Amino acid sequence: MSSEKQSDQANAIVVGISGPSSSGKTTLARLLQRIFCGVDLQSSDSKLNTFIIHEDDFYYPDDQIPYVTTKSGERIQDWDTAAAIDTNFLAQSLSYVREHGRLPPRLQSKEDQNEQSDSGVEDALVLEMRDLVSRQLASRNSRTKTIAFMEGFLLYSDRDEKSPLRPVHDAIHLPLFLPAPYTNVKTRREARSGYVTIGAQPTQEDIAAAKEAKGEQNEQEGEESKKIDLETEDDRPSQNFWVDPPGYVDDIVWPRYVEDHAWLLIPDESVDGDLVAQVGEGINVRTDAGVIVAPGKGLVGMDVILKWAVEEILAFHRSF
């Protein structure tokens, strides 16, 4: 069911924030949280409830992450494929949020344990945007008192109903997309210390037995319809820490991003041949493909992106 068809029943607006690694998704989500959370609504005793959902919290445990063979012949884990994400859990969680206006008890975030960088946005601008939001929301009645900011590197898909991301995309009311040039992605990603993960560290036996990501994804397709009890507490394994191996951006991160977003990055339908070469820096993003693309081609500051996102959310809220 599309997000448009579900909107009449929604008790929360889900705002998607996607884009390549290190494009500012988490930073933007946290800034929007500061701006929108707790502002007064038209009813004097009612305030806006907001929260952030991180796609990184939906990774499979470490020992279930697919392996791929790089061009140099090295076997490494691929954290940037849809097969590494429990998209069934993610889609059901978003449906739960839309229905109940809150996070499911089963979802416990580890994302905020990862390092946080300076947003580059002055507090004065955040306060200015918060004042704008307060004035606009206080001046009109709204039947929805919750906004969820869903951020992640792989949230959208083309219109292929068989895509594991289609149910995720359909559960998002407002799909925002932040482009970023390859050069920036590489520089920022390689400057990171690593990421908190869950589950047992993979063994050599895991590596030897692991299949290519595509085969792993095919095996997981049968789980797509499996119902998850979202009211139970999180029982997933304990946490670990992942550090990108040398060359990971060029071997995995950027090629996967281009492959999964070819429908958005390539202007026509001929998505074949060397996609990475066709995309280049990746700053020319289609604006007619069902997502709302940030201005500036990934070359403007977060202050510009923040103002744009606030205006888009307010405009959607007015029409919801």
* 3-319 homologous superfamily: P-loop containing nucleotide triphosphate hydrolases (3.40.50.300)
The pLDDT score that the predictor gives to residue 165 is 95
pLDDT in tens, 18-34: 999 999 999 999 999 99
The pLDDT score that the predictor gives to residue 205 is 52
Instruction: Give how far Cα 288 sits from Cα of 185, 265, 282, Å.
Output: 24, 11, 16
pLDDT in tens, 186-197: 999 988 765 555
pLDDT in tens, 59-104: 998 889 999 999 888 999 999 999 999 999 999 999 999 999 999 9
- Mean predicted confidence (pLDDT) in 143-157: 93
- Taking the domains of the chain in order of start, what are their residue ranges? 3-319
The pLDDT score that the predictor gives to residue 9 is 62
Q: Which of 112-126, 128-142, 184-198, 214-228 has maximum average pLDDT?
A: 128-142
pLDDT in tens, 234-253: 666 555 666 888 899 999 99
- Mean predicted confidence (pLDDT) in 100-124: 77
Instruction: Give how far Cα 272 sits from Cα of 34, 147, 259, 268, Å.
Output: 42, 38, 10, 11
pLDDT in tens, 248-298: 999 999 999 999 999 999 987 666 678 999 999 999 999 999 999 999 999
Q: What radius of gyration, in Å, describes the C-alpha atoms of the chain?
A: 19
- Mean predicted confidence (pLDDT) in 129-157: 91
By CB neighbour count within 10 A (0-12 exposed, 13-18 middle, 19+ buried), where does 291 fall? buried
Residue in the block written with tokens 């004097």: 44
pLDDT in tens, 192-223: 765 555 555 555 455 445 444 434 444 555 54
The pLDDT score that the predictor gives to residue 43 is 65
